[in-house]
Amino acid sequence: MLRNKKTLLECARNTAEYIKKNGGGNFAGFIVDIIRYVDRQDRDSEQKVKQLWQILFSVKSSNIEIIEGGSAVKESYIKFIDEYLGIKKSQNEYIPANTDFNDLSLEEIFYVFAWVRRLTKEEKQGKKDKNKVPDGKRTFNGRNERRFDRNNVKADNKKAYYSNEKHSGKRKDYDNAYGNGKGREQSEPFNNTIAEQLRKIYGKTD
């Protein structure tokens, strides 16, 4: 269960702003894929979070080529891990120095980065249509964006999270509650390409 959604949304907004102010870089979706990969592991919740920080740090240190994009994206990712999340190794564990991410569950971290991905993606779209704001839509720092509210967060993030096979049993309940009808975006598939690369580096999922 997610705890304080308002706090998580603020964390997502601050994270997206940092990324945009520091060279941008389309790596938020990559982090979401890492989270979903970790969630497939046969570990308890606490161990999954620790594994996530370890993988994010390891990618920065020795497996940066796994991130798609040019050197600017990779440099932006490295700076994000070092300066914003501040992930460091301490007594064989990897811990973020950024207190916004302390004590978050894997689902809460997913919630944050799913919103970060949306906000950074819509920033790019906003640059193309920066003076075109459709009627009935709210703007976020002057950019076209769907309403930044609890209902949209719940729909979009659960839609991605429950496409994970481990949560497929909950998917039916989710569809009944939020709909999956005509005109609604289909749940995104698990990124098997990223998963295969991660398996080669970190081992098989359970």
Write out pLDDT tens, residues 3-15: 789 999 999 999 9
Task: Say how many domains are in the chain.
Answer: 1
Residue 130 falls inside a structural domain = yes
pLDDT for res 71: 86
Burial (CB count <10 Å: 0-12, 13-18, 19+), residue 191: middle
Average pLDDT of every residue of the chain? 74
pLDDT for res 185: 39
Residue 165 falls inside a structural domain = yes
Does residue 180 register a pLDDT over 70?
Answer: no
Write out pLDDT tens, residues 99-150: 999 899 999 999 999 999 999 987 655 555 554 544 444 443 444 434 444 4
Does residue 196 register a pLDDT over 70?
Answer: no
Residue 42 falls inside a structural domain = yes
Kindly indicate the confidence band of residue 171, based on its pLDDT and cuts at 50, 70 and 90.
very low
Q: Rg of the chain over CA atoms, in angstroms?
A: 17
pLDDT for res 54: 93
Residue 193 falls inside a structural domain = yes
Kindly indicate the confidence band of residue 86, based on its pLDDT and cuts at 50, 70 and 90.
very high
Q: Which of 19-33, 83-97, 185-199 has the highest mean pLDDT?
A: 83-97
Residue 206 falls inside a structural domain = no
Domain that holds residue 118: 5-201
Between residues 151 and 98, which one has the greater pLDDT? 98
Please report, rounded to a whole number, the percentage of residues in the chain having pLDDT higher than 70. Answer: 59
pLDDT for res 166: 52
In the chain, the DSSP E strands lie at: 87-90, 93-96, 138-140, 143-145
Give residue 182's identity as a one-letter amino acid code: K
The pTM of the full predicted model, rounded to 2 decimals, is 0.67
> What's phi and psi for 138, nearest 5 deg?
-90, 150
Does residue 161 register a pLDDT over 70?
Answer: no
